[in-house]
Amino acid sequence: MEVEIKNIVKNFKDIRVLNNINLKTYSGDTLLIVGKNGAGKTTLLRLLLGLYKADSGTITVNNVNVLDKKYNEIKKEIGFLNDNIGIFRDLTAWDNIEFFHRMYFPNANKETRESDISNVLKKVDLYPHRNSKTDFFSRGMKQRLVIARAIVNKPKLLILDEPHRGLDVEGKEMIKEVLGDFHKSGSTIIINSHDLNDVQESITHLAFLYNSEIVCQGSYKDLINKFNESRYKLVVDKPQVIKDLLSKQAFVKSVSSMNNELIIELNGNVEQLSKWLYSQSIPIHELVKMNDNLTTLYKKIIS
């Protein structure tokens, strides 16, 4: 699904939460919205779902305005997880998912319904607890259940507000699998998450919200290349000797030692470093680019 956000402004009383927001995503994109607490990330997702009304600007999904009645049909192909869990405490895990499956697929036969519900509960590792009431679920189990609810309709647009909340290591790995599956199917995914390293492998695009505005956006690859310094970690024998030699090379901006490793910042590209090491017959134990992660990128753009 294609999502387009144009010139969105949203105020709460005298406070401007979103100021002239513009974003566009295409089928197959996995967009991560990044920002500090209170930056307006959740508000933007609620506007996209039609839960809030913008003061100005428009939001369309597949060219349908989210405030249009036609959007009700589009919603059938949208899965969402918001910051309000909203599950039925007196129902079992199975009954919770069946409730929503019946809303999305009222005419499904029994066999299809049971197969869909079974598959989605297995996906989030709740099938063994399918007959347990959610009142006795831990915070993480409840989070797994709302993820199941978000994907039970096999959405073409998946909107996730802090999907990792309360999840253990296994739960976070499950999220990666879910995101990978929907990305491969061509679905559009929009995520708001503070767990940057947990979504790093899954995203294709980024939008940074700061002081109610988008201060930076683009593909993950382009932004990493733009903001990441040319710093590399080099592990070799006799690091002090190699350090002295490297410091004299024109393609090296600086070189320092850390725990018997060399930290090299380049003026040129890494190919120059590799060719030099080869020409000097220096065995390389490890050569990796540093700071190639979302947390570092976040600090450079937001902090």
Confidence (pLDDT) at 303 = 66
Strand order in the sheet with 15-25: 15-25, 3-12, 56-61, 64-65
Identify whether the C-beta of residue 291 lies closer than 8 Å to the C-beta of residue 231. yes
The pTM of this model reads: 0.82
Helices H, strands E: what count in the chain? 11, 14
**Is the distance from CB of 271 to CB of 214 less than 8 angstroms?**
no
Q: Where are the beta strands (DSSP E) in the chain?
A: 3-12, 15-25, 30-35, 56-61, 64-65, 78-81, 157-161, 188-192, 205-210, 213-219, 231-236, 252-258, 261-266, 284-289
Tens digit of each residue's pLDDT, the chain (303 residues): 999 999 999 999 999 999 999 999 999 999 999 999 889 999 999 999 999 999 999 999 999 999 999 999 999 999 999 866 779 999 999 999 999 999 999 999 999 999 999 999 999 999 999 999 999 899 999 999 999 999 999 999 999 999 999 999 999 999 999 999 999 999 999 999 888 888 988 999 999 999 999 999 999 988 887 776 678 889 999 999 999 999 999 999 889 887 789 989 888 778 999 999 999 999 999 998 876 678 878 887 886
In the chain, the domains with their CATH numbers are 3-221 (3.40.50.300), 228-301 (3.30.70)
Q: How many CB atoms lie within 10 A of CB 82?
A: 18
